[in-house]
Structure 1
Amino acid sequence: MAKSSADDQELRRACESAIEGTKQKVIMSIRVAKSRGVWGKSGKLGRQMAKPRVLAISTKIYKLKHLSKVEVNSNDPSGCTFTLGFDNLRNQTVAPPQWTMRNTDDRNRLLLCILNVCKDMLGRLPKVVGIDVVEMALWAKENTTTTTTTNQVNSEDGPVPTTMAEKDMKVNVEKDLVSQAEEEDMEALLGTYVMGIGEAEAFSERLKRELQALEAANVHAILETEPLVEQVLRGLDNALNCVDDMDEWLGIFNVKLRHMREDIESIESRNNKLEMQSVNNKSLIEELDKLLERLRVPSEYATCLTGGSFDESNMIKNIEACEWLSGALRGLEVPNLDTTFANMRAIREKKAEVEKLKSTFVRRASEFLRNYFASLVDFMISDKSYFSQRGQLNRPDHADLRYKCRTYARLLQHLKSLDKNCLGPLRKAYCSSLNLLLRREAREFANELRASTKASRNPTVWLDASAGAGQTVSNADTSAVSDAYAKMLKIFVPLLVDESSFFAHFMCFEVPALNPPGGVPNGKNSVELAALNECLQELLDGIQEDFYAVVDWAYKIDPLRCISMHGITERYLSGQKADAAGFVRLLLGDLESRISMQFSRFVDEACHQIERNERNVRQMGVLSYIPRFATLATRMEQYIQGQSRDLVDQAYTKFVSIMFVTLEKIAQTDPKYADVFLLENYAAFQNSLYELANVVPTLAKFYHQASEAYEQACTRHISMIIYYIPFQLGLSKMDLRKVLKASLSGVDKSIQAMSKKLQKNLTSEELLPSLWDKCKKEFLDKYESFAQLVAKVYPTENIPSVSEMRDLLASL
Structure 2
Amino acid sequence: MPNCLYQEVALPGSCITYQEVAVCNEDVEDALWMYCLEGFDNLKNKPVAPPQWTLRTRDDRNHLLTGILKLCKENLGRVPKIVGMDVVEMALWAQAHAKTLPSGGPLETDAVDTGLEKGEKVSVERELVSKAEEEDMEALLGTYVLGIDEAEAFSERLKRELTALEAANVHAILESQPLVEEVLQQLDAAQGSVEDMDEWLGIFNVKLRHMREDIESIEARNNKLELQAQNNASLVEELNNLLEKLSIPSEYAAVLNSGTFVDERMPQNLEACEWLTNALRSLDAPFLDANYVNMRAVKDKRIELEKLKSTFVRRASDFLRKYFSSVVDFMISDKTYFSQRGQLKRPDHADLRFKCRTYARMLQHLKNLDKSSLGPLRKAYCHSLNLLLRREAREFANELRASTKVSRSTGAWLDSSQGGAAQGAGGADTSTVSDAYAKMLRIFIPLLVDESSFFASFMCFEVLPLNPHGVEDDKDDDEDGISATETDGSDKPAEQNPAELESLNQSLQELLDGIQEDFYAVVDWAYKIDPLRCISMQGVTERYLSAQKADAAGFVRRLLADLQSRISLQFNRFVDEANLQIEKHDRNVKQMGVLSYIPRFAALAGRMENLIQGNSRDVVDQAYMKLVNTMFAVLERIAQVDPKYQDVLLLENYAAFQNSMFDLANVVPTLARYYQQASEAYEQACTRYINSIINYQFERLFQFAQKVENLLYTISPEEMPFQLGYSKMDLRKTLKASLSGVEKALPAMYKRMQKHLTSEELLPSLWEKFKEDFMDKYESVEAILAKCYPSEPLSPSSSEMKEIFKNFVF
TM-score, normalising length from structure 2?
A: 0.70
Matches of 1:421 and 1:102 in 2, distance apart? 108
Cross-structure match for 1:804:
800
Q: Which amino acid aligns with 1:704?
A: Q
Q: Residue 557 of structure 2 corresponds to which residue in structure 1?
A: 585
CA displacement, residues 689-734 of structure 1 (integer Å, 9 cap, x when unaligned): 1111111111111111111111111111111111112416334322
Equivalent residue for 2:727, pick from 720, 728, 732: 732
Q: Secondary structure at the match of 1:644?
A: helix
SS of match in other structure, 2:757: coil
Q: Is 2:401 the partner of 1:482?
A: no
Find the counterpart in structure 1 of residue 660 from structure 2: 688
- Name the CA distance, whole Å, in 2 between partners of 1:576 and 1:489: 13
1:157-172 correspondence runs (5 A): none
For the pair 1:327 / 2:278, whether they are aligned, the reply is yes
Deviation at 1:39, TM superposition (A): 9.8
Instruction: Work out whether residues 617 and 669 of structure 1, in 8 Å CA contact, stay in contact via their aligned partners in 2.
Output: no
Deviation at 1:624, TM superposition (A): 1.4
1:494 to 446, 461, 474: 446
In structure 2, distance between residues paired with 1:101 and 1:745: 154
- Alpha-carbon distance change, 343 to 469 in structure 1, aligned in 2, over 3 angstroms: closer
* Compared CA separation, residues 507 and 38, structure 1 to 2 (3 A): farther
Alpha-carbon distance in 1 for matches of 2:647, 2:299: 102
Change (3 A) 1:807 1:77: farther
How big is the shift at 1:793? 3.3
Which of the residues 245, 262, 268 maps onto 1:294? 245
For the 8 Å contact 1:563–1:640, the answer to whether it is kept is yes
Structure 1 outlier segments of 4+, above 6 Å: 34-42, 74-77, 100-103, 233-244, 514-518
Match for 2:619: what amino acid?
L
Amino acid at match of 1:339: A
Cα distance in 1 for partners of 2:604, 2:363 equals 58
SS in 1 for 2:586: helix
| Identity rate, percent | 67
Match of 1:427 among 346, 366, 378: 378
Which residue type is aligned with residue 296 of structure 2?
Answer: R
2:571 aligns with one of 596, 599, 617: 599
Query: How far off is 1:356 after superposition?
Result: 0.8
3-state DSSP class of the match of 2:584? helix
Contact 1:43 1:77 in 2 (8 A): no
CA distance, structure 2, for counterparts of residue 593 and residue 285 of structure 1: 74
* Distance across 2 between alignment mates of 1:319 and 1:595: 50
Paired position in structure 2 for 1:317:
268
Aligned counterpart in structure 1 of residue 222 of structure 2, from 263, 271, 288: 271
Aligned match of 2:320:
369
The answer to whether the 8 Å contact 1:432/1:538 transfers is yes
1:535 aligns with 2:501: no
1:471–1:755 distance in 2 versus 1, CA, 3 Å? farther
Contact 2:9 2:52 in 1 (8 A): no
State the one-letter code of the partner of 2:248: V
Instruction: Give the corresponding residue for 2:777.
Output: 782
Structure 2: which 5+ runs fail to align? 1-6, 20-29, 40-47, 56-183, 467-489, 705-724
User: How far 1:433 moved relative to its partner?
Assistant: 0.5
1:472–1:269 Cα change, 3 Å:
closer
Candidates 532, 544, 556, aligned match of 1:560: 532
Separation in structure 1 between the aligned mates of residue 742 and residue 245 of structure 2, nearest angstrom: 127
- Contact kept, 8 Å, 2:324 with 2:381, in 1: the verdict is yes
Counterparts of residues 4-403 of structure 1 (less than 5 Å) = 43=16, 78=36, 99=51, 248-403=199-354
Deviation of 1:595 (Å): 1.1
For each residue in 1:253-303, what CA deviation from the matched residue of structure 2 results, as whole angstroms up to 9, or x when unmatched? 222222222223233333333333333333333322222222111111111
**Contact kept? 1:39, 1:75, Cα under 8 Å:** no
In the TM superposition, residue 482 of structure 1 has moved relative to its aligned partner by 1.4
Aligned length: 615
Cα deviation digits, residues 93-122 of structure 1 (max 9, x gap)? xxx99657999xxxxxxxxxxxxxxxxxxx
Q: CA deviation at 1:41?
A: 6.5
Encode CA deviations 1:345-365: one digit per residue, 9 max, x unaligned: 222222111111111111111
Residues of 1 paired with 2:366 and 2:15: CA distance? 103
Q: Residue 568 of structure 1 aligns to a residue in which SS?
A: helix
Question: 2: CA distance between counterparts of 1:638 and 1:459?
Answer: 20
Higher relative strand content: 1
- 1:731-782 C-alpha deviation (Å, 9 max, x unpaired): 4322332332233221111222211111111111111111111112211122
Q: 1:284 to 1:519 in 2, by over 3 A?
A: closer
Q: C-alpha separation between the residues in 1 aligned to 2:624 and 2:572?
A: 12
Secondary structure in 1 aligned to 2:324?
A: helix
1:618 maps onto 2:613 in alignment:
no
Cα distance in 1 between the residues matched to 2:609 and 2:450: 35
- 1:78 deviates by 4.1
Instruction: Provide the C-alpha distance between the structure 1 equivalents of 2:11 and 2:413, rounded to a whole number of angstroms.
Output: 128
Structure 2 distance, partners of 1:497, 1:80, is 122
CA distance 1:282–1:802, shift in 2 (3 Å) = same
Q: Give deviations 1:5-64, integer Å, cap 9, x for gaps.
A: xxxxxxxxxxxxxxxxxxxxxxxxxxxxx9997999675799xxxxxxxxxxxxxxxxxx
Check 1:300–1:673 CA distance in 2 against 1; reply closer, same or farther (3 A cut). Answer: same
Aligned to 1:699: 671
Paired residues of 2:541 and 2:564 also in contact (CA < 8 A)? yes
| Distance of 2:362 and 2:683 partners within structure 1 | 81
Q: Give distance in 2, aligned partners of 1:275 and 1:256.
A: 29
How many angstroms apart in 2 are the aligned matches of 1:771 and 1:42? 131
Measured against aligned partners, the alpha-carbon deviations of 1:223-244 in whole angstroms (never above 9, x if no partner) come to xxxxxxxxxx999999998877
Specify the code of the residue in structure 2 equivalent to 1:449: L
Question: Is the CA contact (8 Å cut-off) linking 2:463 and 2:492 kept in structure 1?
Answer: no
Deviations 1:543-582 (A, max 9, x none): 1111111111222222111111111111111111162311
The unaligned stretches of length 5 or more in structure 1 are 1-33, 47-71, 82-95, 104-232
- Of residues 355, 360, 372, the one that matches 1:409 is 360
Contact 2:550 2:557 in 1 (8 A): no
- Bigger mean CA deviation after superposition, 798-807 or 565-574: 798-807
Q: Match of 2:323, as an amino acid?
A: Y
Q: Distance in 1 between matches of 2:748 and 2:787?
A: 30
- Offset of residue 401 of structure 1: 1.2
8 Å contact from structure 1 (residues 80, 102) kept in 2: no
Q: 1:772–1:325: structure 2 CA closer, same or farther, 3 Å change rule?
A: same
What is the CA distance between 1:407 and its match in structure 2?
1.3
Measured in 1, the distance between the counterparts of 2:567 and 2:542 equals: 11
Distance 2:506 2:199 in 1: 102
User: In the superposition, relative to structure 1, how do residues 690 and 252 fare at CA in structure 2: closer, same or farther (>3 Å)?
Assistant: same
Deviation (angstroms), 1:395? 1.3
Structure 1 residue identity aligned to 2:356: C
- Find the aligned partners of 1:75 and 1:598 in 2 and give their Cα distance: 138
- 1:534 and 1:750 map into 2 onto residues whose CA distance is 85
| Contact 1:512/1:519 (<8 A) preserved | yes
Aligned pair partner of 1:511 in 438, 441, 463? 463
Q: Pairwise CA RMSD of aligned residues?
A: 3.6
C-alpha distance in 2 between matches for 1:462 and 1:98? 135
Partners of 2:531 and 2:49 in 1: CA distance: 123
Give the whole-Å Cα distance in 1 for the aligned partners of 2:639 and 2:491: 69
Structure 1 residue 77: Cα displacement: 8.8
Is 1:714 aligned to residue 686 of structure 2? yes
CA contact (8 A) 1:36 1:98 kept: no
